[in-house]
């Protein structure tokens, strides 16, 4: 059998002297690679506890431990496999057994010596080792749904709305901002509590909060405009000329530009000779309004409302038709540029680079209320003897101290840990990333300690837990703390047949952003290469039912497809994915009628 096209990357990933950030799409065998990496590292440490492997789910952690132990058992009693990957794993496990015997680890009998755990479990371990300082006498088990505790905390804080000065005045300012709507205020505070790990460092850190917020807004604006300028550079001069023409027409039609709401930004493009400078945000918005309709789609109709009237109403009647044709050609070019439409729409909603006094007054009130709200939530948690996952992670971060002032726990871990592996790194949140950064803060390149991150930006699923896929991209570009990471890409899919891979590549290449953007977490599509040969028949079929309100025809079709698949190969299993349990009401009876369980 042919060796996978990414074999070199897989072999390189086993270099225990180097740190890596591995992009591993679905079906690429990342769990197998992590298992082999872990086996390699076990041959280089004095104790298995010197290696920390973190995953996102208990199932993944249990699977990793099972694979390692099974490899050790097989290498001790089983014959050497013939397949290259299995033979390599067998040989690595045999070397680990030699270390196990020499150092008396007893891994097969004591598999818990393998420090393989979920990130949440690791955070609980950290927090519990510094329980008094982290705010809990005994750290409770986090609950999956903490909404009712958030509501309790919010309503207890809102009880101070009528108090004079301080928190009462700040709450009054925020309430006025939401039009004195208490329901809106509660919803706002709820969203902020759920995402508190994102803003707590900013609120608690020293320095001028307004300056930091404005700096962040300016960076976002500059980043967006730089990306737009790069895409539009080939047509910059033509775009500017057309914008100048359209703007002059709008001013002629409505000198005070008080007509259509979209007119005002475009009128700032009068006299434009090329793409606007980075500080001319209104002119950039004018370009966006010239190209896009209010619903975000590229314009189709061109008339006097968009700055392209008929010749008799034009500022340049002799060339009115020519300008309109040039604009149509430009719009067609724009439609062909992947990601341009989304960038232009982002431009419309960019924050102001500088806050006005009214905006800052509201934000200042929020920064006064939020610490009180968090303190109130902790009181509720302590009273009810519960917590949420964010509170566990925050407690773990506190247990590690600041980078400049590490705790004894941090120093002890710095001495103990020699290698860290993190699976599904694309689902890491900002605060989990900060925990990792503090764990390796004392590491130096080439000191023998390594960091191994595995992820797939295309599979980021933990947005509800504040996952930030941009962190994975940033780690690949810039490393973590002082640890540079070499990027490796796994491209071969071992799970699906070739025709499925080709179809997915074709469909999803257009669905993902055209360019990566760490700030927005925009990830481009990485095409997969098929390891398995194509099967006979179509790989993907799509059945559409225009008149099937109860889903009965769909259910019959699903049952027929499942029956045909099992008749073709009774040893295979069939998976049926539905959007919700309600869709099974018709499908399950249809399957039973076919005798399928």
Percent of the chain at pLDDT > 90 equals 60
**pLDDT tens-digit readout, 108-166:** 999 999 999 999 999 988 988 865 544 445 678 889 899 999 999 999 999 988 887 78
Strand 20-23 and strand 419-422: the pairing is unpaired
Among candidates 302, 308, 297, which has minimal Cα distance to 340? 297
Which one has a higher pLDDT value, 512 or 235?
235
Among candidates 283, 265, 263, which has minimal Cα distance to 274? 283
Average pLDDT over residues 410-435: 91
Cβ–Cβ under 8 Å, residues 523 and 516: yes
Question: What are the C-alpha distances in Å from 447 to residues 255, 418, 419, 450, 452?
Answer: 69, 9, 11, 8, 15
Residue 231's pLDDT is 93
SS3 531: strand
Residue spans of the domains in the chain: they are: 7-121+392-529, 147-194+356-386, 212-348, 552-593
Distance CA 318, CA 271 (A): 19
**pLDDT tens-digit readout, 366-412:** 988 999 999 999 999 999 999 999 999 998 998 898 888 888 889 99
User: CATH assignment of 7-121+392-529, given 3.40.50.300, 3.40.50.970, 3.40.50.720, 3.40.50.2300?
Assistant: 3.40.50.300
Among candidates 472, 446, 450, which has minimal Cα distance to 459? 472
pTM, two decimal places: 0.81
Per-residue pLDDT band at 258 (split at 50, 70, 90): very low
Residue 460's pLDDT is 64
Average pLDDT, the chain: 89
**pLDDT tens-digit readout, 179-199:** 999 999 999 999 999 989 888
Distance CA 281, CA 284 (A): 5
Percent of the chain at pLDDT > 70 equals 94
For 402, what's the count of Cα atoms within 13 Å in the CB-facing half-sphere?
Answer: 5
Residue 116's pLDDT is 96
Question: Per-residue pLDDT for 38 more than 80?
Answer: yes
């Amino acid at each position: 059998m042919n060796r996978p096209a990414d074999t070199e990357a897989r072999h390189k990933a086993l270099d225990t002297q180097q740190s890596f950030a591995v992009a591993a799409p679905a079906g690429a065998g990342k769990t197998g690679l992590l298992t082999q990496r872990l086996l390699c590292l076990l041959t280089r440490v004095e104790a298995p506890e010197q290696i920390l492997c973190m995953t996102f789910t208990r199932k993944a952690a249990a699977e990793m431990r099972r694979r390692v132990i099974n490899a050790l058992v097989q290498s001790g009693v089983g014959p050497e496999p013939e397949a290259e990957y299995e033979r390599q794993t067998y040989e690595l496990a045999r070397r680990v057994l030699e270390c196990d015997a020499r150092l008396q680890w007893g891994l097969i009998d004591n598999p818990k010596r393998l420090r393989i755990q979920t990130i949440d479990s690791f955070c609980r371990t950290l927090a519990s080792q510094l329980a008094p300082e982290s705010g809990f006498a005994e750290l409770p088990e986090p609950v999956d749904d903490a909404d009712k505790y958030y509501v309790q905390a919010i309503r207890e804080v809102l009880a101070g709305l009528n108090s004079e000065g301080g928190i009462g005045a700040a709450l009054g300012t925020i309430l006025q901002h939401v039009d004195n709507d208490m329901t809106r205020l509660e919803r706002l505070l709820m969203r902020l509590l759920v995402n508190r790990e994102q803003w707590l460092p900013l609120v608690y850190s020293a320095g001028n909060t307004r300056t930091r917020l404005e700096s962040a807004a300016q960076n976002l604006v500059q980043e967006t405009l730089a990306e737009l300028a790069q895409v539009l550079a080939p047509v910059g001069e033509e775009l500017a000329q057309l914008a100048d023409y359209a703007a002059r027409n709008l001013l002629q039609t409505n000198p005070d530009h008080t007509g259509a709401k979209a007119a005002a930004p475009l009128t700032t493009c009068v006299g434009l000779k090329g793409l606007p400078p980075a500080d001319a945000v209104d002119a950039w918005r004018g370009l966006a309004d010239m190209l896009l309709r209010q619903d975000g789609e590229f314009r189709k109709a061109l008339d006097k409302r968009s700055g392209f009237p008929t010749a008799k109403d034009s500022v340049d009647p002799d060339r009115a038709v020519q300008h309109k044709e040039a604009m149509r050609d430009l719009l067609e070019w724009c439609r062909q540029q992947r990601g341009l439409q989304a960038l232009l729409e982002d431009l419309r909603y960019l924050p102001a680079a500088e806050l006005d006094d009214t905006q800052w007054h509201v934000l200042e009130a929020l920064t006064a209320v939020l610490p009180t709200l968090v303190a109130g939530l902790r009181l509720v948690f302590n009273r009810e003897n519960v917590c949420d996952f964010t509170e566990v992670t925050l407690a773990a971060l506190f247990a590690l101290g600041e980078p400049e002032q590490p705790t004894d726990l941090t120093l002890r871990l710095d001495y103990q840990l020699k290698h860290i592996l993190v699976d599904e790194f694309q689902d890491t949140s900002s605060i989990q990333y900060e925990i990792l950064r503090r764990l390796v803060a004392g590491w130096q390149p080439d000191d023998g300690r390594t960091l191994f991150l595995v992820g797939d930006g295309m599979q980021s699923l933990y947005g509800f837990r504040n996952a930030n896929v941009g962190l994975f991209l940033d780690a690949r570009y810039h490393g973590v703390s002082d640890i540079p990471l070499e990027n490796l890409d796994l491209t071969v899919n071992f799970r699906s047949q070739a025709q499925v891979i080709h179809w997915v590549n074709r469909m999803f290449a257009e669905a993902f952003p055209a360019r990566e953007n760490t700030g927005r977490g925009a990830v481009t599509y990485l095409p997969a290469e098929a390891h398995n040969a194509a099967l006979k028949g179509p790989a993907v079929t799509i059945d559409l039912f225009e008149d099937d309100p109860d889903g009965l025809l769909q259910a019959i079709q699903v049952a027929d497809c499942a029956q045909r698949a099992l008749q073709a190969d009774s040893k295979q299993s069939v998976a049926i994915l539905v959007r919700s349990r309600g869709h099974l009401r018709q499908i399950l009876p249809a399957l039973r009628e076919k005798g399928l369980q």
